[in-house]
Structure 1
Amino acid sequence: MYERILVPVDDSETSAAALLEVVKVACSQQSKVKIVHVIDLAQFAWSANEFLDVPQLQEALRRSGQRVLDQQSETLKAAGVDVEAELLEAWGGNLARAIVDDATKWQAELIVMGTHGYGGLTHMLLGSVAEGVMHVTPVPVLLVRAKAE
Structure 2
Amino acid sequence: MYQRILIPVDDSETSRQALHQATRFCSDQHARTRLVHVIDLAQFTWGGAEFVDVGELQVNLRETGRKVLASAQELLRESRVEVEAALIEIWGGSISAAIIEDAGTWPADIIAMGSHGWTGLDHLLMGSVAEGVVRHAPVPVLIFPIKRKK
Q: What residue identity is the alignment partner of 1:38?
A: V
State the aligned residue count: 149
Q: What is the aligned partner in structure 1 of residue 96 from structure 2? A: 96
Residue ranges of structure 1 left out of the alignment (5+ in a row): none
Matched letter for residue 101 of structure 1 = E
Work out whether residues 6 and 103 of structure 1, in 8 Å CA contact, stay in contact via their aligned partners in 2: yes
Question: How many Å separate the matches in 1 of 2:121 and 2:129?
Answer: 16
Amino acid in the other structure paired with 1:75 = L
Q: Which residue matches 2:44?
A: 44
Instruction: Give the match's secondary structure for 1:43.
Output: coil
Match of 2:18 in 1: 18
Which whole-Å deviations, capped at 9, do the CAs of 1:63-109 have from their partners, x for residues lacking one?
01111001111111111111101101112141000000000000100
Q: TM-score scaled to structure 2, two decimals? A: 0.94
Which residue does the alignment assign to 1:134?
Answer: 134
Within the alignment, does 1:55 sit opposite 2:55 as a pair? yes
Residue type matched to 1:104 in 2? G
Q: For 2:22 and 2:3, how far apart are their aligned partners in 1?
A: 12
Whole-angstrom CA distance in 2 between matches of 1:117 and 1:39 = 22
Tell me: CA distance 1:27–1:46, structure 2 relative to 1, closer, same or farther (3 Å). Answer: same
Q: Over aligned residue pairs, what C-alpha RMSD do you find?
A: 1.3
Whole-Å separation in 1 of the counterparts to 2:47 and 2:148: 36
- Residue 135 of structure 1 deviates from its aligned partner by 1.4
Per-residue deviation, 1:136: 1.2
Which amino acid counterpart does residue 144 of structure 1 have in structure 2? F
Distance in 2, Cα, partners of 1:28 & 1:67 = 26
What's the TM-score once normalised by structure 1's chain length?
0.94
Matching residue of 2:111 = 111
Once the two structures are TM-superposed, the CA of residue 148 in structure 1 deviates from its matched residue by 4.8
Cα distance, 1:13–1:88 mapped onto 2, change above 3 Å = same
Please give the per-residue CA displacement for 1:27-85, whole angstroms capped at 9, x wherever unaligned: 12210110001011111011233322111111110001111001111111111111101
Task: Give the secondary-structure state (helix, strand or coil) at the position aligned to 2:46.
Answer: coil
Q: Distance between the aligned counterparts of 2:73 and 2:96, measured in 1?
A: 21
Aligned partner of 1:81 in structure 2 is: 81
Contact 2:15 2:113 in 1 (8 A): yes
Q: Tell me, yes or no, if the aligned pair for 2:22 and 2:113 is still in contact at 8 Å.
A: no
Query: Which is further off, 7-16 or 64-73?
Result: 7-16
SS at match of 1:45: coil
